[in-house]
Structure 1
Amino acid sequence: MHLIQLFLPLYDNDGQPFAKTLFDGVRTELTDRFGGVTAFVRSPAVGAWEDDRGEVQRDDVVLFEVMADHVDHGWWAAYRVRLEARFRQDEVLVRAVRAERL
């Protein structure tokens, strides 16, 4: 079993919030494919990273999680590219970790 997490920005590069419909679309897509999704949308996480110029960048992000028996790397790579285009990002973080259902 794997826990797959997607980190999506709340705001575009101009500081404008993304439309709720974008997040609703992700929720629907993941639910349709995996049978369920958990979305942490009420209290966003704050992400920070260093850009190519050495400056620290910050983002408020929404976390989406799904559980899957198998990680289809090809599907996730293509989905990440679609999310990067949809949310106008250089990179969207998607990660998978092994998980055990208790």
Structure 2
Amino acid sequence: MHLVELFLPLRDNSGAAFPKALYDSVRAELADVFGGVTAFTRAPASGLWEDDEGEVQRDDVVLFEVMVDNVDHAWWRNYRGTLEQRFDQDEVLVRATAVERL
């Protein structure tokens, strides 16, 4: 079993908040495809990273999680591309971790 996590930005590059409808559509799509989703939307996480010029960038993100038996890499690669377009991002972080249900 794997936990797939999607890190979605709260704001665009100009600092404007993305509309709630964008997150609602992600939640609905993941629930439809995988039968469930957990969204951590109330307390955003703060991400920091260094860009190509050595400048530290900051982003507030919300986290969506789904549990899957097998990771379909092609499907996730395509969906990540869709999210990058919707949220106008160079990259949306999507990661999968092997987990054990207790």
Query: Normalization by structure 2: what TM-score?
Result: 0.99
Give the drift of 1:91. 0.1
Matched, 1:59 2:59: yes
Unaligned residue ranges in structure 1 (runs of 5+): none
Question: What TM-score do the two structures reach when normalised by structure 1?
Answer: 0.99
Partner of 1:95: 95
4+ residue runs over 3 A deviation: none
Matches within 5 A, 1:50-89: 50-89=50-89
Report the Cα distance in structure 2 between the residues aligned to 1:57 and 1:30, rounded to whole angstroms.
28
Distance in structure 1 (CA, Å) of the matches to 2:81 and 2:50: 21
- The one-letter amino acid paired with 1:51 is D
Number of residue pairs aligned between Structure 1 and Structure 2:
102
Q: Does 1:43 align with 2:43?
A: yes
Let me know the Cα RMSD of the aligned residues: 0.3
> Unpaired segments of 5 or more residues in structure 2?
none
Q: Percent identity?
A: 71
